[in-house]
Every structure is written in structure tokens, then in C-alpha cells.
Homo-oligomer: A and B are copies of this chain.
Amino acid sequence: MSQTEAPFPESPASSDEYSLDDLLQFAESNALNALDKSKIARTSPYTVGKFLTRLPVDDRRVVLRLLNIEGVAEVLSEMDSEDAAEVIEAMRQARAVKVLEALDPDDSADIVGDMEEANQHRLLNDVNPERAETVRTLISYPEDSAGGIMTTDVATVPKEFTVRQTVDHLHTLHDEFEHIYYVYVIDKNGHLLGTVSMRDLVMAKTNDIIGDIMHTELRGVLNVLTDQEDVTLVMAQHNFHALPVVDDDNRLLGMITDDDVIDIIQQEATEDFQKAMGAGGDESLNDPIAESVRRRSPWLLVNLLSAFMAGGVISLFEEQISHLTILAVCMPIVASLGGNAGGQTLAIVIRTLALGDFEDQDARRVLIREATKACLSGIIVGLIAALAVGILGHHWDVSAVIFVAMIISMSYAGLAGALIPITLRKLKLDPAQSSQMFLTASTDIVGFAVFLGLGSWVLL
């Protein structure tokens, strides 16, 4: 990590905090009790969070006992909310409640949302009523909506305030309000009127009136039900550090900060890639084996069905194959190239969709272009394959069949690689979901059918 590459005099020397490697060594040698209490308190919560994720539940408690409430809250806010929920559920009631109160409201809502319902009630009953109410409201929004991501710790002032009054007001806000870059200006019914940045406050005179210096041309205001993927696109579009979230009546409910967006973007990228390959969108290497198998198997069974269909195509040509076994030798070559040529297109189309760079009217042009690209690749690769088969096997008639079959099957693959995610999106389904499997299923079937069909016709 670059921290160690940057020699910085005042930065904590490596002996002052644990690295993840250090911590893992303590765990491996069953020496968690030997961890230094003040050293672990100085270690970055992110590192401790990563470490905890790799520990069994009992060992997590040993580590967390070394931290005070604020320290535990910081670590938990860096962890997966599911893991964090597990940790809190295992705590004594009094400590669990204190930790929930020390967390940012959005983090505590994420974590409580991942608990069993009985535990939600048990804990929220003891959390201070105002916070409990906030958490209950936040849980009620879909997890992947703006409401599910936003924090409610927002600094608001009326437009009549002076800069001095505003700064005084900021002083009264609890330290927990770490995310103040913007002060939101609201009317007495909570409607959003404008924003003032910290920089504006620094630059203004103390007697200036907020209503005069606030920005009212507000872009990037999010509705509370906006999907998180759209949130990332809006954030990328406007280079703001926080976007306000409002209800249908433009009442300010909270805000989303760009560090939350960074996490969501990573999560969406992971989901797209893993789902495209037929794994769980939020699956991790540390998930229990049984759970991974349970989540991956349905897609493998879909794949089995499609593989049987491909096998069915081959069985139509069993007699031809028994006479001319080189057909069996060459058919997977045609199918394999089709699958991979389609996969190249598929990846680019899925990413283009994810980045919001695709409009419906682009579909026809993209399909034609991708089929063309794959067709040209097919001519190049098919020619080389044909030469190789001719030279190695002296089967020049088979060469000709391979050449033509490869062009057809690869052109189809380019088309399918674009068509599958675009169609899934059109059907309001996730364009990534298992599309690699659908793709190779169809390229196998087409590849086998074209090659064996052509081969039987020309060669026998």
C-alpha cells in the first residue's frame, strides 16, 4: 500500500499501528489475547474491519472487547452491514444499544436492517427514541434506493440566518456531523430552498444573509426512491460532494455523500461482473461453502439444460460423425471461438449500460457494428484455422467448411453478445444476470449446428 511508500514525518510509524498482516498472524497463532489495546485503537478501522470479517464470531468478540464504544462503531461502519449485524446481535444488550447510538444513522439503519426482526425490536426498544424513529424510517426505504443509502445527519438553516448565526449553529451540532460540506437552506415546512457550501461560508462576510448567498439553481436533487445505480450516475454527472434527498413534495429528508457513492460503485461493478458469470452479485470468497453452492447451482442447472440442447443438436449428426470423426474434433473449435468472440462484445455492452452511456435508439447501430466486428474477426481467425486444419490434417474440404462456419458462428456471437444484455434491459431485467451463460449456450448451439450442418452437406 502506498502509505508505506510515502515517508511522512508525522504519519503514524508502522510500529504505532497494526497492519492486516500483523493481525492475521496473531489470529493464526491463536494469540488474539496478546493484542495491544492502545495499538489496536490506533489502527485504521478499515483494517480492523477487514480483519474481523475473516475471524470466527467468538474471536471477533475477543478483538472488539479491546475497543471502546466509539472504536467499535468506527470498525463496524467499515464492515459489510451483514457482518456488522452479526457482531452486534452477539453483544450484550446494553453495549449493543450504545454502539447503535454511536453509529451514523444511515450505518445503524443498514446494520439493523440486516438483523432478524426479533433482534431489531429488542434493540430499537432500548435505543433513544429519536434515533430509533430515524432508523425505523430509514429501514422502510428499499435498501438500494436513495432513501436506503442517505444519512439524515444534515445541517439545515432558515434563509433568514446570517453567516454568523449559521456558523454558531454549526458549532452547536454534535461532533457526529462529520459530513458537513453543505448547509441546506429550508423553509419552515422543511422544503429545500438552496445550499451553501463550507467554502461559501469561509468566503462570505459574517453579516451576509444566507438567503442572499445560497445557490438556488439546484442540480442533482435526488428523490428518495431513486435507484442507487441512478444515484451513482447523477453523482458522476455533477461533481458535488453531497446530493440532497427529498420526498415527492421537495421536503429535505437527508443527503448522500460521495464516499457512500464510491462504495456503491464498487458494489455495482462487483455485482455486474459476478452476475454475468452466474455467481451471486454479493457473493464473497468468505461466504460459507454451502451457501455459495446453493446460490450458484441454479444457474449451473440452467446451463445444464442448454448444454443438453447443444448435445441434442450434435445427436442429430451422430451418423455423420461416426463416418467422419474429424467433425467431432473440429466442432468444439468453432463453438469455443464463438463463445469468446461474443464474450468480448458482451463485456463492453454490459459496462456501457452500467455507465449510462447507452440510449435505446443506439440499439440497432450497436447490433450491426458488433456483428460486423465479430464477422471480420471471424474472417481472420477462420482463415488461420482453415489453413491450420488443411496443413496439419490435409483435409482441405474440412478447411473450407471451418472457414465458412466460423464466419457465420462468430458473426452470430457478436450479435448475441450485444443482443442479450440489451434485451434483458429492455425487459427491465438485470442486463448482467448470467448473460455469459445465456451467451455461450446460444453460441454452442449455433456453432455446432452450423458446422455439423455445413459439414454433413459438403463432406458426405
Query: Which residues of A are interface residues toward B (Cβ below 8 A)?
Result: 1-3, 5-12, 20-21, 24, 44, 46-47, 50, 146, 167, 170-171, 180-181, 192-194, 197-199, 201-203, 216-223, 225-227, 230-239, 241, 246, 248, 250, 258-259, 261-263, 265-266, 269-270, 272-274, 276-279, 283-285, 289-290, 292-293, 296-297, 299-301, 303-304, 306-308, 310-311, 314-315, 318-319, 321-323, 325-326, 328-333, 335-337, 339-341, 343-352, 355, 357-359, 361-362, 366, 369-370, 372-373, 376-377, 380-381, 384-385, 388, 436-437, 440-441, 444, 448
Contact = CB atoms under 8 A, between A and B. Distances in A.
A325 B321 contact: yes
Contact of A332 (B321, B372, B444): B444
Nearest to A197: B198
28 contacts: A1-B234, A2-B223, A2-B226, A3-B219, A6-B221, A6-B223, A8-B246, A10-B217, A12-B219, A24-B359, A44-B238, A46-B238, A170-B202, A197-B198, A269-B269, A273-B351, A277-B344, A277-B347, A278-B340, A278-B343, A279-B343, A279-B347, A300-B340, A314-B329, A315-B329, A318-B325, A332-B335, A340-B437
Given A3-B219, A297-B377, 9 more contacts: A5-B223, A24-B359, A167-B202, A202-B202, A239-B259, A272-B273, A289-B376, A301-B381, A340-B436
A170 to B, nearest CB: 6
Q: Is the interface of A mostly helix, strand, loop or mixed?
A: helix
A308 B391 CA distance: 13
A379 to B, nearest CB: 9
B8 A250 contact: yes
Across the A-B interface, the 6 shortest Cβ-Cβ residue pairs: A269-B269, A2-B226, A198-B198, A277-B347, A279-B344, A318-B325
Contacts of A12: 217, 219
- Which among A146, A198, A278, A326 has the greatest number of chain B C-beta atoms within 10 A? A198
Contacts of A310: 332-333, 336
B24 A203 contact: no
B347 A230 contact: no
B258 A297 contact: no
Given A7-B248, A376-B289, A377-B300, A1 B171 contact: no
Contact of A388 (B262, B308, B330, B448): B308
A381 B246 CA distance: 48
A372 B241 CA distance: 44
A322 B307 CA distance: 21
Contacts of A276: 273, 347
A373 B292 contact: yes
A351 B296 contact: no
A381 B314 contact: no
A110 to B, nearest CB: 15
B351 A226 contact: no
A456 to B, nearest CB: 13
A38 to B, nearest CB: 15
Given A8-B218, A11-B218, A440 B226 contact: no
A233 B92 CA distance: 34
Contact of A369 (B171, B285, B350): B285
Contacts of A265: 262, 265-266, 269
Given A44-B238, A265-B262, A328-B314, A8 B192 contact: yes
Nearest to A9: B250
B2 A296 contact: no
Contacts of A266: 236, 265, 269, 355
A215 to B, nearest CB: 9
A2 B225 CA distance: 9
B377 A274 contact: no
Contacts of A330: 311
A139 to B, nearest CB: 21
A313 to B, nearest CB: 9
